[in-house]
Structure 1
Amino acid sequence: MMLRRLNAWMSGGGERAAPPEWQDVMAPPAGCDRSVEVQQRDAARRARARADAEAREAEARLRQTQRPRPDLPTGAVWAQRPTAWHQATEDPIRIGPANGTRITPDLTLFHDCPKAEMILRQSLAPASAPAPFALILDTLHFEGSFLSLVTGLPDSEAAALSDRDVLRIELRLEASAPTKLYGRLNMEQGPNTAQMLSEFSAPESGTCHAAFDLAYGDLRAQPVDHAWIDLIVERPAMLRLTLHDVLLSRYPRAEM
């Protein structure tokens, strides 16, 4: 009851008298300049505005995480977004992330830049966006030789891969400058790891994809134990790369 009365007083601009139980608390000390009271009320309004903004953002994040999983693209038998694009991460801003920084259980950042002059952050996407969240990578001077985001396939999906499949990764992105992106598929079978490399036709903004025809993947006649994809950024210095969506999908290979 007291909280509702205080909220009603604050929403009315503070022109009415404060509730009796708050008058002694909010009244300025005797002899205090009237401007102190004004400052106190302004501070209270700002605190209320911040609390309201945080509540709205929390509600928006909750709505985003309740959005349905991606629809299967036409012809696909499986599709999935990595966690960072459909769930809020524990640490949405990472400044100077070290090599091997785990962003989510299925997404890790790798690089060999000694100073790690970069910022990686998760951003809440508009309600109209295909994915609830976006991932933004800002790099400054980059003195290393490689930078990649690595996402793993679920083991159950890795075990289902065969030479009759095509695996596809689709990106929706914005880049501050033209850049080259590569996808590298890694498939582990016992002591052997087969690799396939595909270049994205990466525009400065828009949709691009890379595909892996597993008929050429040198797979053995046994299930794949583990599979993961490296998203490799070539020459990332002085670049802002916004990944609005990352979607993995699997298709049956067309019979020749």
Structure 2
Amino acid sequence: MFDRLRNILAEFRHRQILRFWSGGREDARNMPLSELRNLRRKANQIRRVVDTINHVAVSRLTLPVIGSNAIRKPPRTEWAYRPQAWAGPVYPSGLAAVTSKQKIGDEVTIFHDCTQSELAFRQVRNTHEEDFSPFGLRMDVFNFDGSFLSLAIEMPPESLQGLKRSHLLRLDMIVESERAQEMFARLNIRHGPNTEQIVRELDIGARSFWVEFDLYYTQFNEERGDSMWVDLIFEGPSMNQVTIRDVTMIRRPRASI
């Protein structure tokens, strides 16, 4: 009985709010500018809330299912992770004229040195049957007058727990590109005052691919691991659209020599 009454009251409030904004739409043409500014401010506040709800609703009602966390894992995998931007909705979900150091959620940051940004991004919903990740990240680059463009993807603290030089780190990606796009992946591991870096060229001729980073050939201090991140570096990105459908990182022990 209580739930039914609550639903009736919620429906009544919804109708009142809808009636108010329907009237405001009609009154906006003739009301004084001071009142119109106040109405616009309230409308923008509500729009942000509605946009967020709609974004989450569309995400949850479309496959692949959010929260499944399905990751392709080769044998002997000890740890696997899909960054937030590919696992669930993030804020902001899209932006144009992106400035350098723009955050996408908590883990992804865009870096570039353009004097005039003609770069846009948006989070998109994956719908292919072969996609394991719920979301992808689409970047549209028009005129690009800078010398570098990269996405820095922070790995969580648990990525360093138990990490040793005897481990292999494997980066799996699914990428779609309007035209041929040269890309590199750079693994960064900070330990104390030093940072180990390993660079791999990405072969995005195929939609799905992976690269491995072998820590055996680094000077990584296993006792001082502080943070880990991956830079995805775009070479000559001008006039292109690149959609990164999935990014996962897994860890497994390397074979004994």
Scaled by the length of structure 2, the TM-score of the pair is 0.74
Match of 2:57 in 1: 59
Once the 2 structures are TM-superposed, how far is the Cα of residue 71 of structure 1 from its aligned partner? Answer: 3.6
Write the mapping of 1:127-166 to structure 2, written as runs, cut at 5 A.
128=129, 129-166=131-168
In 1, the alpha carbon distance for the partners of 2:71 and 2:211 equals 19
In 2, the alpha carbon distance for the partners of 1:154 and 1:90 equals 18
Once the 2 structures are TM-superposed, how far is the Cα of residue 196 of structure 1 from its aligned partner? Answer: 0.9
Count of matched residue pairs:
208
In 1, the alpha carbon distance for the partners of 2:114 and 2:125 equals 28
Q: Given the alignment of the two structures, is residue 80 of structure 1 paired with residue 81 of structure 2, yes or no?
A: yes
Once the 2 structures are TM-superposed, how far is the Cα of residue 60 of structure 1 from its aligned partner? Answer: 3.6
Write the mapping of 1:29-178 to structure 2, written as runs, cut at 5 A.
58-63=56-61, 66-71=66-71, 73-75=73-75, 76-126=77-127, 128=129, 129-178=131-180
In 2, the alpha carbon distance for the partners of 1:55 and 1:155 equals 30
Unaligned runs of 5+ in 1: 5-53
Q: Could you tell me which amino acid in structure 1 is paired with residue 95 of structure 2?
A: R
Deviation readout 1:95-128 (Å, 9 max, x if unpaired): 0111000101111111111111011000112173
Partner SS for 1:215: helix
Q: CA separation of 1:89/1:56 partners in 2, compared to 1, >3 Å: closer, same or farther?
A: closer
Unaligned runs of 5+ in 2: 1-7, 13-51
Q: Could you tell me which amino acid in structure 1 is paired with residue 67 of structure 2?
A: R
Residue 185 of structure 1 is aligned with which of 179, 184, 187? Answer: 187
In 2, the alpha carbon distance for the partners of 1:81 and 1:67 equals 11
In 1, the alpha carbon distance for the partners of 2:56 and 2:225 equals 40
- Contact 2:92–2:105 at 8 Å: present in 1 too? no
Q: CA separation of 1:58/1:103 partners in 2, compared to 1, >3 Å: closer, same or farther?
A: closer
Partner SS for 1:114: coil
Once the 2 structures are TM-superposed, how far is the Cα of residue 148 of structure 1 from its aligned partner? Answer: 0.6
Q: Could you tell me which amino acid in structure 2 is paired with residue 77 of structure 1?
A: E
Match of 1:25 in 2: none
- Contact 2:188–2:195 at 8 Å: present in 1 too? yes
Larger radius of gyration: 1
Scaled by the length of structure 1, the TM-score of the pair is 0.74
- Contact 1:65–1:86 at 8 Å: present in 2 too? no
Q: CA separation of 1:237/1:71 partners in 2, compared to 1, >3 Å: closer, same or farther?
A: closer
